[in-house]
Structure 1
Amino acid sequence: MRKTALVPHARLPRTYHSRHVLGSTVDAFGAAHWLLADRLPDPGADLPPYDALFVSVHDDGGAEVTELSAVRARWPHLGRLPDGGFVVASSRARRYEDGNQVQVFDALGRESWTFSVGDAIEHLLVDAAGDLWVGHFDENPLGIRRWSATGQIHEVLDHVPGVAWITDCYALNVSRSVAWACPYTDFPLLEIRPDQEMRVRTNTVRGAKAVAVHGNRVAFLGGYGEDHDRLAYGELTEASVEPTAAGRLTLPAGTPLGRRRVVGRGSRIYVQVEPYTAWCVFDLSG
C-alpha cells in the first residue's frame, strides 16, 4: 500500500517548550496556534481560572504571543479570530459553567464575551469570516452548528435529509468559504455553504477522522482498527464519493502516526503528534 509522508508546517518556538500544551489548532489562513500554561490541570479536581499564553506562528515563522487571564477551559478547543481576537472553549460544559463554556478575548487578551454552545465538543473551527463551526460527539448529539463570535447561532445541522440523525461529527473541515463533514453513522460527505442547501453525497469510507477536498477530489484520513492511518482517496460526483485509491499517511521520516490531533482546512489535513509542539501537513492539491 502506497505511503505518503507528511510535510513539516509550523513549530512552537523552543522558548516555550517548558510550558504545557493545553490545546493547539491551525486557522483558515494556515497560521498555527498554541495555548500554553505553567502546569496541566489535576484530573478530577475543580479547575480555578488560570493564566495562559496564546502563541501564534505565521507562515514566515514569526511568533506572536498574547497573555490571557482567567482562562477556565479544562480541555480546551481554541481559535483565532480575523480581528485578532481569541476563542477558548471547554470541550465539556459543566452545569456550573452555564453561559461560560466559550470565552472570547480581544486582541489584547481581555475577555469580551462568554456563552455556551453545548456539551461534548469534538471540533471547533473558526472560518475566515470569524464564525465558529462546532461539531459534537455522541455524548451530546447536537450535530453541527455555526455560531457568531458573540454567541448568536446562525446554523443548526442535526440530521441528514433522507439518511439519518448526526449522532457524532467524526470529521469536520472548514475552509475560508465552505465546510465539509463526515458524520456517524452512515458517514455521508456533507458540503455545507452558508445560506445554501446542504449537499449530501453517499460515501463508503467508514470512521475517517479528517477530510480534505480539492476540486472534485477528496481524501479521508483514519478509520477503525488498523485503518487509523489510512488515506483513502475518492472523486466527487453529484450524489456520491467514488473510491479511487488508498494508502497510508506517515510522519515526515516515514514512521507511523500513532496518537495525533488533526485539523481539516480545505485541501489540507494538518496533523500533530506528541508532544504537540509541531504541526505537519498533507495537501491534496499537491
Structure 2
Amino acid sequence: MQKTALVPYAHLPRAHHDLHVLTSTVDVFGAAHWLLAERAPQRGGDLLPFDALVVSVDPDGTVGLTELSAVRARWPHLDRLPDGGFVVAASRARRDEDRHQVQVFDVLGRETSSFSVGDAVEHLMVDEAGQIWVGHFDENPAGIRRWSAAGRLTWTSDDAGIPGLLDCYALNVSGTGAWACPYTDFPLVAIRPDRADRAVRVWSNRVRGAHAVAVHGGLVAFYGGYGEEKDRLALGRVTETSVEPTGTGLLTLPDGRAPGRRRVVARGSRIYVQAEPFTAWGVFDLSF
C-alpha cells in the first residue's frame, strides 16, 4: 500500500519541554498552539482552577507566550480567537462547574467570559470570524453547533437534514464554514450557515470511520478508520451527489513510522497530525 509521509510543520520550543502538554491545536490561520501546565491532571483530586501557559508558533516561526489565569478545564480543548485571545473548554460538562465549561481569555490571559456548550465535546474549533464550532460525540445528541465568543448559539444541526448524525467523528473548520463526516452514515457534509441558500450540502460516502477530512476543490481526503485502518488515507472526488474513491494509502510520520497515539486537526485542504510526546505537528496538504 502506498505511503504518504507528513511534512514537518511546527515544533514546541525545547525550552518548554519540561512542562506537561495538556492539549495542542493548529488554528484557522495556521498557527500552532500548546496549552502547558506544571503537571498532568489527575482524576478526582485535582485542585481547580490552575494557571497555564500557551506557547504559540506562527507560520513564520514567531513564538509567542500567553499566561492564562484560573483555567478550569481538566481535559481541555484549545483554540485562538482572531483578536489574539484564547478559548479553553472542558470536554465534559460537570454539573457543579457547568457555567465555566468554556472560558474566553483576552490577549493578556485574563478571563473575559464563560458559558456552557453542553456535554461530550469531541471538537472545538474557531473560524476566521471568531465563531466557535463544537462537534459532540455520541453521549450528547446535539450534533454540531456554532457559538459566538459571548456564548450565544448562532447555528445548530437540528433540522439540517444531516443523515445519521449521532457522533461528529470528523470536523474541519476553515474560513467561516465547516466540513464534517459524522457517524453513523459518514456522509461528507458542507456547512455554510451564512448562505441564504443551500447552507448545508450532503454527499454520500463509502469511507467509514474517518476522524479527519480535508477538502480542496473537487478533491477530498479522509484520514483514519477502524482497527487496522487507523492510519488510512483515503482519497476521493466529489461528484454531484457522492464521493467517488480514487485511491487508498497510509499516512505516516515524516520519518516513515506509524503515528501511534496522535492528535488530529483538519483545516481546509490540510490535515495536521501530532504524535506522542505531542511536541511536533506534521501536515498533509491535499492542495499539493
**Structure 1-normalised TM-score?**
0.97
- Relative to structure 1, the CA distance from residue 28 to residue 119 in structure 2 (aligned partners, 3 Å threshold; closer, same or farther) is same
TM alignment of 1:133-172, pairs within 5 A:
133-158=133-158, 161=161, 163-164=163-164, 166-172=165-171
1:17 pairs with 2:28:
no
Q: Does structure 1 residue 179 correspond to structure 2 residue 178?
A: yes
C-alpha contact (below 8 Å) 1:50/1:69 kept by paired residues = yes
1:230 deviation in Å?
Answer: 0.4
For residue 98 of structure 1, give the secondary structure of its aligned residue in structure 2. Answer: helix
Shift in CA distance, 59/162, structure 1 to aligned 2, threshold 3 Å: closer
Tell me the CA shift for residue 159 of structure 1. Answer: 5.8
Large movers: runs of 4+ above 3 Å:
none
8 A contact 1:136–1:143 mirrored in 2 = yes
Given residue 192 of structure 2, which amino acid in structure 1 is its aligned partner?
A: R
What secondary structure does 1:99 align onto? helix
Matched, 1:41 2:44: no
CA–CA distance in structure 2, aligned partners of residues 150 and 87 of structure 1: 11
Are residues 256 and 159 of structure 1, via their aligned partners in 2, closer, same or farther at CA, if it must alter by over 3 Å? Answer: farther
In 1, Cα distance between equivalents of 2:163 and 2:18: 48
Structure 2, unpaired ranges of 5+: none
Q: Partners of 1:84 and 1:272 in 2: how far apart? A: 23
Cα distance between partner residues in 1 of 2:7 and 2:104 = 32
> For the residues of structure 2 that align with 1:67 and 1:260, how far apart are their CA atoms?
25
Comparing 155-164 and 167-176, the one that deviates more: 155-164
Q: Which amino acid aligns with 2:287?
A: S
Unaligned runs of 5+ in 1: none
Contact 2:5 2:251 in 1 (8 A): yes
Contact 1:47–1:72 (CA<8 Å) still a contact in 2?
A: no
Amino acid in structure 1 at the alignment position of 2:144: I
Match of 2:230, SS?
A: helix
Cα separation, 2, equivalents of 1:98 and 1:161: 29
Deviation for aligned residue 1:42: 1.4
Residues 4 and 250, structure 1, Cα contact 8 Å, conserved in 2: yes
CA distance in 2, matches of 1:204, 1:65: 43
Q: Deviations over 1:115-134 (max 9, x none)?
A: 00001100001001110010
The question of whether the paired residues in 2 share the 8 Å contact of 1:23 and 1:36 is answered with yes
Paired AA for residue 260 in structure 1:
R
Name the TM-score, length of structure 2 as normaliser.
0.97
RMSD: 1.1
Match of 1:83 in 2: 83
User: Aligned equivalents of 1:223 and 1:59: distance in 2?
Assistant: 29
2:69 is aligned to 69
Is the contact between residue 47 and residue 74 of structure 1 (CA under 8 Å) also seen in structure 2?
no
- Per the alignment, residue 222 of structure 2 pairs with 220
How far the C-alpha of 1:46 sits from its partner, in A, is 4.3
- The answer on whether the counterparts of 1:143 and 1:159 sit within 8 Å (CA) in structure 2 is no
Larger displacement relative to structure 2 (47-56 or 225-234)? 47-56
